[in-house]
Amino acid sequence: MQEIRKVIIPVAGWGTRSLPATKNIPKEMLPIYNKPVIQYVVEEAQRAHIQDVIFVTNRDKNVIEDHFDYNLQLESVLERAGKLEKLEEVRKVAEMVNIMSVRQKKQLGLGHAVMCARELVRGEPFAVMVGDDLMFSGVPGIRQLIDVAMAEKMPVIGVMEVPWEKVSRYGIIQGEEVSPGVYRVHDMVEKPARENAPSRLAIVGRYVLTPDIFDHLDKVQPGHGGEIQLTDALKTLAQERGMMAVRMAGMRFDAGDWSEFLSANIYFALQDEDLRYELLAQLRKFVQFQ
Ligand code: G1P
């Protein structure tokens, strides 16, 4: 399998879980400490040597693309004010990756969002990263999958163990562990009831796929929630050509869940030496009064 150069990042969802914060701001632009959620996702792709990012957007999401472009007016203000560190920081974001975008005109599900980018991936294997799933680890999350995909010449999906009471929030796989943390996928089901879940191994919004996924997506009927589910197409792809799952190393935060969003903010702020001491003192104070 050739090196993965492209990633599809679907960002057309409404973000209803994060209302009212997301009434007029895309959920992907909410800040985690000093950067929007989506910048962490794109940085993960860049660290994994992916050059081309394809955003699947809607009419209200232009600000996401703008974030990864130059802002000449802001740059000249920063330059005149001698704020050169900030200037470098904002320029660096524009230079991270190539940006392409395609509109998802109707929000018909994650599978449909991936389908919208079909023409832009042009028959190459590609990655998919869910725009509000944050992963942090030494080896970038998506790179962990690319390495297995290239070695096995197969599509690979990222999984993590979740508690039984959370299986109904995820796609859940049934697989056979062939080496530590690497599974051969036999089956999967989107958001099963706890009693129907084949395991606690949940799909976590990172995928490396081959272009034949589109043939499977073509055939998928609306599934869970009446949506075109990527999971349903992955299931038939796994059964027809084989698929691996990798238990991902590192931390994961679902930015659409308030407690995880807030934890991610604290986690990142604590990495900043300038903030760490004061923030810890504040947190200790809050905890004392609980
Ligand atoms: C999507 C996928 C699901 C996966 C999840 C990970 O669901 O359909 O299989 O487990 O992302 O975040 P969503 O969260 O978009 O409902």
CATH level 3 topology of 6-256 = Spore Coat Polysaccharide Biosynthesis Protein SpsA; Chain A (3.90.550)
Query: Does residue 68's CB lie within 6 angstroms of at least one atom of ligand 1?
Result: no
CA of 228 to the centre of ligand 1 (A): 12
| Atom 10 in ligand 1: residue holding the nearest Cα | 170
- Indicate the pTM of the whole model: 0.95
CA of 284 to the centre of ligand 1 (A): 34
User: Could you give the CA distance from residue 243 to residue 237 in angstroms, rounded to a whole number?
Assistant: 7
Nearest to 130 by CA among 258, 252, 263: 252
pLDDT at residue 91 in the model? 96
pLDDT at residue 288 in the model? 87
CA of 254 to the centre of ligand 1 (A): 10
Q: What digits encode the pLDDT tens for the residues 135-183?
A: 999 999 999 999 999 999 999 999 999 999 999 999 999 999 999 999 9
Q: Report residue 193's pLDDT band, with 50, 70 and 90 as the boundaries.
A: very high
Name residues whose C-beta falls within 8 Å of residue 273's C-beta, 6 or more positions apart in sequence. Answer: none
User: Could you give the CA distance from residue 13 to residue 108 in angstroms, rounded to a whole number?
Assistant: 10
Q: What digits encode the pLDDT tens for the residues 52-89?
A: 999 999 998 999 999 999 999 999 999 999 999 999 99
User: Could you give the CA distance from residue 54 to residue 8 in angstroms, rounded to a whole number?
Assistant: 5
pLDDT at residue 129 in the model? 98
- Residue range 96-109: mean pLDDT, rounded: 95
* Ligand 1 atom nearest to CA at 190: 9
Torsion angles phi and psi, residue 227, rounded to 5: -105, 160
Decide: helix, strand or coil at residue 10.
Answer: strand
User: Could you give the CA distance from residue 84 to residue 278 in angstroms, rounded to a whole number?
Assistant: 26
Whether the pLDDT of residue 289 is over 90: the answer is no
Q: Give the start-to-end residue ranges of the domains of the chain.
A: 6-256
